[in-house]
Amino acid sequence: MDTDKTARIGATNKKVHISLLHLVIFLLIYAINLLLFLAFRGYFFLIMGIIFTTLVPFSFYMAWRLTDYVKAVLISDKERARPGEAVEIIFTVNNPSFLCALRAAWFLTAGNSFYGTFDDQKLVLSIPPHGQKQFLMTVSMTDLGRIVFACKEFCITDLLGIFVIHSDCALDNCIFILPQADSATEVSVPETFSGAAELSESNAKGNDYSEVSDIRTYRAGDRPKDIHWKLSAKQQEPMVKERVSLSGSEHILLLDLPHEKNNAEELLTESYHQVKALLNRHMAIRLLIWNNHLFSFDSYSCNSLEELETAFCEIFHTSLLSHNSDILRQYMKNCYPQLESYMCMAYHEDHAQLEICING
């Protein structure tokens, strides 16, 4: 079990909702008992009246206190999975008290954060007294991305069904869905690509073969050519690009993600297999992907399969944003002006393909 999110819930922010239907039904039964009592003056109906009267606060108290005691855990048996692979999601409710609830609902949100698709579900479980209740969900995912299961709120219904006590909680669990490790077709990297995008550091004066690692405010001593003029204009103060020198043996692979989901899915899968093939040839790859939030390229160094998968997880942490390929290449030129060429995985004419791009 890789992920374990436990939350003590219910201590704060409890809200009570009343189910009118259940209230009306209860009042109807109460009224019938009252009428019978008035008609018969029976001791039995007197006792039943007292029981019914006491039952309401009793039932409410049970539910109210239970929200303080109950603890929930949301875990999964895998952190990373492949499309179609079964993943066990285990929702466990622990109740240290002797109070119980026959109906508790957990508002689950399930979705893919990479594609921004989320849907709400309501998981209905009864809570046993002084015990544990598990709900095992076997899920399988068809899409790549970061699958998030979260629960921000739960509610416990009292025994009579009249009061529904809502309470906040903070449970979440995520699973990264990576492309299939074993591709059905062997990916072959054209020979011409080998070394074509290799970054060679020139000894020419003034050339700086490095990549931007950060952007910061201008400090005395910074080179004027490092000033990020466009950003400085936006920020109203001089900003400079902090550079890290790139080693001379890495191959740059730019992921030009299309905005359409299925195309992006295909491109990512193809990229994964291409990079894996390159890694098999002992080539070092640096993945670049445009981050619209940071307004820069995210860079992931992949020297092994593990690093590749970590890189994909990092990519899936972001969200798929649309952009224009031409502008992306322009950004590439701006950010890496010294780079002569690079590999680019782009989607053209209904399929993803790897191509060599001349920077400039």
Partner 1 sequence: MAKILQKKKNKPDILLSEGIILSGCFYEKREGTWANLLVRAIFLFAIVTGSLGGMLSAFQISYIKWAFFLTALFAALYCASLYASGWWENTGYILIFIVVAYSGLRLRTYISSGFYGILNDISSSASIFFESDAQVSYAEQVENHYLAITVAMCYFALISCIVTNGLISRKSKYLAASVPAVLFLMVPIYLEHEPEGIYVILLAVGIITVYIYRQNQYLSQRPKQKVLLKAAKKHLLLGNFSGGAALGALFAVALLCTVIVSVTELLIPKDSYLAGNARSSFKLQTMDTMENFYLLGVMGLINFYPTTGGLVNGRLGGVGSVRLDYETDLTLEFVPYTYDRIYLKSFIGAEYIPYENHWSIEDQTAYLESQKHDTADRLEDAFLSGRDGYARAVMKIMNVAAMSAAYLPYYSNNSAVLIPPTQEAEYTFFPLLGEVPDGSADPLVSDLWLEVPEENREVIADFCDKAGLSGSSQEIIDGLRDYFQQEYPYTLSPGATPRRKDFINYFLAEKRKGYCAHYASSAVLILRYMGIPARYVEGYAVDAAEIAQDAERTAQNVSDYYEGTSLLAQSSVVSYDVSDGNAHAWVEVYDENLGWYPVELTPYWTTQEESRNSLWDMFTRLFQTEGNAPSVEINAPNENTGAAITDTIRSSAPRLVFCLVLLIVAIPVWFLTKRLIRLYRYSHADRNGKLLMLYHSMIQKESRNELKNMKNFEEQIAWLAENGFLNQNWACLEDLIQTLNEAAFSQREISAEAFDEACRIINGR
155 forms part of the interface with partner 1 (CB under 8 A): no
Q: Which residues contact 83 (CB under 8 A, 6 or more apart)?
A: 141, 142, 143, 144, 177, 179, 180
Minimum CB–partner distance for residue 80 and partner 1 (Å): 15
Residues within window 281-310 making contact with partner 1, judged by CB under 8 A: none
DSSP code, position 116: T
Report whether 311 contacts 248 (CB < 8 A): no
The label of the residue with tokens 């970054």 reads 199
The pair of structure tokens assigned to 13 is 């922010």
The secondary structure element, H or E, covering residue 13 is none
Minimum CB–partner distance for residue 265 and partner 1 (Å): 9
The residue count of the chain comes to: 360
Minimum CB–partner distance for residue 25 and partner 1 (Å): 7
Minimum CB–partner distance for residue 276 and partner 1 (Å): 23
Question: What phi and psi, each to the nearest 5 degrees, are found at residue 177?
Answer: -105, 110
Minimum CB–partner distance for residue 33 and partner 1 (Å): 9
| Per-residue binder mask for partner 1 (CB under 8 A), 77-96, x = binder | ---------x----------
Q: Residue count at the site for partner 1 (CB under 8 A)?
A: 65
Looking at 31, 124, 244, 327, which residue binds partner 1 (CB under 8 A)?
124
Q: 91 or 290, CB closer to partner 1? A: 91
Report whether 108 contacts 173 (CB < 8 A): no
Geometric angle at alpha carbon 204, from 222 and 206, rounded to 5°:
20
The pair of structure tokens assigned to 148 is 């998030």
Could you tell me which stretch among 71-79, 109-117, 276-284, 319-327 binds partner 1 (CB under 8 A)? 109-117
133 forms part of the interface with partner 1 (CB under 8 A): yes
Looking at 12, 20, 136, 281, which residue binds partner 1 (CB under 8 A)?
136
Q: 25 or 189, CB closer to partner 1? A: 25
Looking at 76, 157, 173, 296, which residue binds partner 1 (CB under 8 A)?
157
DSSP code, position 177: E
Minimum CB–partner distance for residue 158 and partner 1 (Å): 9
Name which of 296, 282, 205 is nearest 249 in CA terms: 282
Q: 111 or 238, CB closer to partner 1? A: 111
Residues within window 2-61 making contact with partner 1, judged by CB under 8 A: 22, 25-26, 29, 36, 38-48, 50-51, 54-55, 58
The pair of structure tokens assigned to 140 is 């399988």
Across the beta sheet with 250-255, the strand order is 296-302, 284-291, 250-255, 341-348, 351-358
Backbone region of residue 280 per phi and psi (left: phi > 0; alpha: psi in -120 to 50; beta: other values): alpha
Chain residues that interact with partner 1, rule: CB under 8 A: 22, 25-26, 29, 36, 38-48, 50-51, 54-55, 58, 62, 86, 98-103, 108, 110-112, 115, 117-129, 131, 133, 135-143, 145, 147, 157, 159-162
